[in-house]
Amino acid sequence: MSACPHDFTLERHLAGELPVESDESKHVTTCPLCSERLDRMRADGAAYMASPAADGVRRELASVSRRKSAPSWQMVAWSVAAPLAAAAAWLALARTRTPDASDLTSKGAATVQLMVGHEGAIVPWSGASLAKGDRLQLSWTSSVPRYVAVIGREDSGATERWFPPDAHAARLEAGTRAFGDSLRFDPPFHGTVYVLVGDAPFDTAPLEAAIRDHREPVFPGRTSILAIPQAP
């Protein structure tokens, strides 16, 4: 290869992932321009890893690794609201789509609650529209592990998977915990939130496509639908 590769390839080189015999690797190790780019990348990376910000990440990761049930600073904040949440009305996974709902039920109920961070307070979503600056967070309670994905469809039609980052439902362990990101929308989100819960792994891509196209997301599990109205 003759052209200099993209940053992604240089990153793979730095991560030790480029096969030594590949054309890309041969180029990167002999090209003076790439060598300069790599030097800059190394210097930038080293400066960051030596910064107080990186120390903050180290502390945070050490802390969440010790405390597995509260795995992020955002989630720590949300977990403060857990007693409130427990006292509030949990949104049951209302719409059953599985052909064998009784089996799911016999394995234990699962509930998902939408929490809203508003002006420093964290409260269960009341069903009202969201205000500018509000954050959304999902909280999970189940007596058994389940596979979960959450997809948001804005009234404008924009559809986005909120959780997990991969297009495969993530396994959530039994217990009560916040999950996914703390999400902030600008302007505030109004639309429909689809919470998909199954007993087995499932791909989210066809379900995202169905939701985007206003079709029913059909899969061997249950779908809970929450409609967040637009502010008047």
Closest CB to other proteins among residues 1, 94: 1
Q: Taking contact as CB under 8 A, which single stretch among the options 25-33, 113-121, 129-137, 181-189 is the one that binds other proteins? A: 181-189
Which of 29, 39, 58, 92 binds other proteins (CB under 8 A)? It is 58
Torsion sign (Cα): 103, 108, 109, 115: negative
- Please identify, using beta-carbon distances, which residue of 22 and 96 lies nearer to other proteins: 22
**Residue 227 binding other proteins, by CB under 8 A:** no
Segment interacting with other proteins, rule: CB under 8 A, options 28-36, 73-81, 89-97, 124-132: 73-81
Minimum distance from CB of 159 to other proteins (Å)?
5
In angstroms, give the least distance from the CB of 68 to other proteins.
9
Minimum distance of other proteins from residue 164's CB (angstroms) = 5
Residues that bind other proteins (CB under 8 A): 3-4, 6-9, 11-12, 14-15, 17, 41-42, 44-46, 48-49, 51, 53-54, 56-58, 60-62, 64-65, 71-75, 156-161, 164-168, 170-171, 179-181, 183-186, 205, 208-209, 212
